[in-house]
Chains A and B, each alone.
Chain A
Amino acid sequence: MPRIVVDVMPKPEILDPQGKAIAGALPRIGLSGFSEVRQGKRFELTVDGEITEEVLEHARTAATTLLSNPVIEDVTRVEVLDDASPADDGAGAVR
């Protein structure tokens, strides 16, 4: 089944307590060199049938209305996933 991936990140100017806590933990386990961590969310929308421009438009709407809170989050990606390599970002990027 073809899938659309949606990435949501906290807006850059918004405090990200999750990322902050992780950034603090990294050097304590000996992993240095990272100046900042920000934690976002990834959604995978499985599509019943072919991914048309209309379906993608629905995904974009879902991304900005339901999947993210525009007050504190940005949608950073709405893309079609190449099913052959499900874990990969894949080709066919449509933004």
Chain B
Amino acid sequence: MTEKFNLDTVKNAATTPETELPWAELGLKKNEFKRVVEILGRRPTAAELAMYSVMWSEHCSYKSSKVHLRQFGDKVTEAMKEHLLVGIGENAGVVDIGDDWAVTFKIESHNSPSMVEPFQGAATGVGGIVRDIISMGARPVAVMDALRFGAIDHPDSQRVVHGVVSGVGSYGNSLGLPNIGGEVVFDSAYQGNPLVNALAVGVMRHEDIRLANASGVGNKVVLFGARTGGDGIGGASVLASESFDDTKPSKRPAVQVGDPFAEKVLIECCLELFKASVVEGIQDLGAAGISCATSELASNGEGGMHVELTNVLLRDPTLTPGEILMSESQERMMAVVTPENAAAFEAIMDKWNVEYSWLGEVTNTGRLIIEWDGEEIVDVDPKTVAHEGPVYERPFHRPEWLDRLQSESFTASSQYRDRPQSGAELSAAVLELISSPNMCSKDWVTNQYDRYVQGNTALAMPDDAGVIRVDEQTGLGIALSTDANGRYSYLNPYEGARLALAEAYRNVATSGAKPMAVSDCLNFGSPEDPEVMWQFAESIRGLADACQELGVPVTGGNVSLYNQTGGVAIPPTPVVGVLGVFDDVARRTPSGWRHDGQAIYLLGTTAHELDGSEWANLRGHLGGQPPAVDLSVEKMLSELLINASRDGMIDAAHDLSEGGLAATLAEMALRFNVGARVGIDELCERDGIDAFTALFSESQGRAVVSVARSEEVRFTDMCSARGFPHLRIGVVDNPPVPVSSAASSGAGRPGVDQSWTEDHHESLAEPTLDVQGQFTLSLAALREAHEGTLPAYFG
């Protein structure tokens, strides 16, 4: 071994207690460094310092959030755990969906890397969450992406939007994972801190569940996949020299480059390993790389592990031991294999042309020993690295500015006085709303994602939830939706988190699935700011309370802190993903009506709730209180939607959320290019509101459904029996096409070439959305407004 650095061995560390160590540069606080010395009874070696510093980082240790996150566990009841096969704490939670099938899903952030290099940041974000799913033993079956960008017209948004969308698309498409939904939000509050949250979901048989632990003394530890490079350790360049006094120039990349092809091969290779039952435990390598994998595997298993670090295959031969331990190179996995299975393991690696190296073995010493060419450079209790990091009770307090903000209701504003009121004004307002950056069609984004691959996608965007068939024989399947509203959370973080869960829950139920479990990605500013910390604490309290009320457990997730620029934090953004289950995806409900003459019903009541709404946002107003959320109403609405779907009473359903009834009606009509005649007078009278509020209020607990004439009595009886407010507001208008122009009837829907429609459609009656007594809008005009926005900005 050529000497390229002075190796800092355990022996050396014991005899040189006075050596100055760059703990501060590595992000450790003084008290944390002292704690490391206390644990070890000596100063750490360079390699140990590297391990503790990455594993005790905010990102890996959750040191600021842990005390609050406990609520997700504390507020789980036995009933909520009924379908949980694996709860919080593993790579991802696992939910029993019946028939011996299990589903694992998780949402995770990759925010700051996506700001630095949008394409690679977003791509590796998808790659990382997919590896979490594989490491549970599951085949990944779909991804989703919840994206938040700065202002649509800000020059930097071009770079970030193009990069992130093609990064998510390129990685997910190359893995053969359908992208079935997510969110795209534009708000200048995210200008310096775009949010890229990626969700992945996988399925497996119960017996295939794998956990990240190193069991069985004498079993072998193997690292496989991509080689280890200097990725992601740019910030830790002080480790480029182990002696800490050298000025060796560091060439450590600040960003990681994803290799989706390598990951696709890794997926297939892992699934073959699982099928052949040749791995005992498995762990993906993400943040903190080998440090994390070895310490977590060891502490979750028999308690000890012995590793020879020079066996790691390197892309960059100049890496020091500390850097190898910290490297975040992508597309790597670590597994524990019995000696008897080693040959079978190697055969599978060879088939897929995947590189691997045997690093060491499982021991029962309770110590994680890492050697470099036979010399001990790490000797630690792995639990102290992986699980016993610092925990902080950060101070927090309610911001003083909040009272004033909450008192500034939209109703009291000049913008409200100038609200659209006449039919013509309301018509223009609807067009303005559905062409606005947040409410416009996201086809420009989603058309860059493959939604067909694997052949099991039953619904995808723009429907309320993505729906995937799990079992081809029975039709058993799942639905997923992610939601958050940063404006609601900014006005009231406790309610905002509950609203995020309510919407995701409602979306899943709207598709017809029974909500089962939650994964969350909590995006906030700096925890060292007591006001941000208060927002964080309130959000968790709200989400945990709401989960308990709705009876859906949080199975895992991720916290992303320090999303702030120049002292200004992003709005609190708790992105909530809800997983639901179908007995048979064939009965899923799409978000658009299709059948002529079907009755259109509005479920729920509309109150005067415009604070934090999209309309207020369009008028530059943010103040007041977000819409009230009553989770018992949400629960009943969801039951109605699920029953109506199961019993074939409804053929379309779409929830009401951002943009209110106006957005819902427009989206339902545009989904299949089928018009409708709607009246809102009765609604206004019943709920005591004007037409503007009827169309733009964002009251919760509402949905619009279309009901076949033959099912109307049964449907209204069901609603009446439960005392749930329901109002017939209109009828679907889709007259049969004359046979002579039959060939053109199939066109005009999203995704089908529109120019063709225009050529052939002239002779037909133009479908319209007719809000009687107010306005009539042709679907062509609605579509032009809805679909023109993103292409106009992004080409």
- Classify A-B as touching or not with yes or no (CB < 8 A): yes
| Selected contact of A15 from candidates B231, B251, B353, CB within 8 Å | B231
B257 at the interface (CB under 8 A from A): yes
Residue interface mask B245-257, A partner, CB < 8 A = 1: 0000001111111
A55 at the interface (CB under 8 A from B): no
**CB distance A13 to B316 under 8 Å?**
yes
Given contacts A12-B251, A72-B253, contact A17 B316 (CB under 8 A): no
Given contacts A12-B251, A15-B226, contact A72 B117 (CB under 8 A): yes
Given contacts A11-B253, A69-B117, A71-B254, contact A17 B261 (CB under 8 A): yes
**CB distance A72 to B257 under 8 Å?**
yes
Binding site of A, secondary structure by majority: helix, strand, loop or mixed?
Answer: loop
**CB distance A15 to B252 under 8 Å?**
no
B125 at the interface (CB under 8 A from A): no
B259 at the interface (CB under 8 A from A): yes
Alpha-carbon gap, A69 to B118, bound state (A): 11
**CB distance B254 to A15 under 8 Å?**
no
B580 at the interface (CB under 8 A from A): no
**CB distance B230 to A13 under 8 Å?**
yes
A24 at the interface (CB under 8 A from B): yes
A20 at the interface (CB under 8 A from B): yes
| Selected contact of B116 from candidates A13, A24, A71, CB within 8 Å | A71
Which chain B positions have C-beta within 8 A of A12? Answer: 251
Minimum Cβ distance to chain B for residue A40 (Å)? 14
A94 at the interface (CB under 8 A from B): no
The count of residues in chain A whose C-beta lies closer than 8 Å to any C-beta of chain B is 14
Alpha-carbon gap, A94 to B262, bound state (A): 39
A91 at the interface (CB under 8 A from B): no
Which chain A positions have C-beta within 8 A of B253? Answer: 11, 13-14, 72
**CB distance A15 to B261 under 8 Å?**
no
**CB distance B259 to A24 under 8 Å?**
no
The count of residues in chain B whose C-beta lies closer than 8 Å to any C-beta of chain A is 24
With a 10 A CB-CB cut-off, give which of A12, A14, A71 has the most chain B CB atoms. A14
**CB distance B251 to A13 under 8 Å?**
yes
B251 nearest CB neighbor, chain A only: A13
B329 at the interface (CB under 8 A from A): yes
Alpha-carbon gap, A71 to B256, bound state (A): 10
Which chain B positions have C-beta within 8 A of A11? Answer: 251, 253
Minimum Cβ distance to chain A for residue B109 (Å)? 20
Which chain A positions have C-beta within 8 A of B254? Answer: 71
B229 at the interface (CB under 8 A from A): yes
A93 at the interface (CB under 8 A from B): no
Minimum Cβ distance to chain B for residue A39 (Å)? 12
B789 at the interface (CB under 8 A from A): no
Minimum Cβ distance to chain A for residue B158 (Å)? 13
Q: Which B253-269 residues have C-beta < 8 A from chain A? A: 253-262
Alpha-carbon gap, A45 to B316, bound state (A): 34
Alpha-carbon gap, A72 to B226, bound state (A): 18
A15 nearest CB neighbor, chain B only: B257
B315 at the interface (CB under 8 A from A): yes
B700 at the interface (CB under 8 A from A): no
Minimum Cβ distance to chain A for residue B342 (Å)? 24
A7 at the interface (CB under 8 A from B): no
Residue interface mask A4-40, B partner, CB < 8 A = 1: 0000001111111100110010000000000000000
Residue interface mask B19-44, A partner, CB < 8 A = 1: 00000000000000000000000000
B45 at the interface (CB under 8 A from A): no
Which chain B positions have C-beta within 8 A of A17? Answer: 257-262
Subset of 14 A-B contacts with CB under 8 Å: A11-B251, A14-B253, A15-B229, A15-B256, A15-B259, A15-B330, A17-B257, A17-B261, A17-B262, A20-B259, A24-B353, A69-B117, A72-B255, A72-B257
Besides A17-B259, A20-B262, 13 new A-B residue pairs in contact (Cβ under 8 A), listed by A number:
A11-B251, A13-B252, A14-B255, A14-B257, A15-B226, A15-B256, A15-B259, A16-B257, A17-B257, A20-B259, A21-B261, A24-B353, A71-B255
User: Which residues of B pack against A, CB within 8 Å?
Assistant: 116-117, 120, 226, 229-231, 251-262, 315-316, 329-330, 353
Q: Considering the complex of A and B, which 6 residue pairs feature the smallest CB-CB distances, nearest first?
A: A17-B259, A15-B257, A13-B251, A71-B117, A13-B253, A14-B253
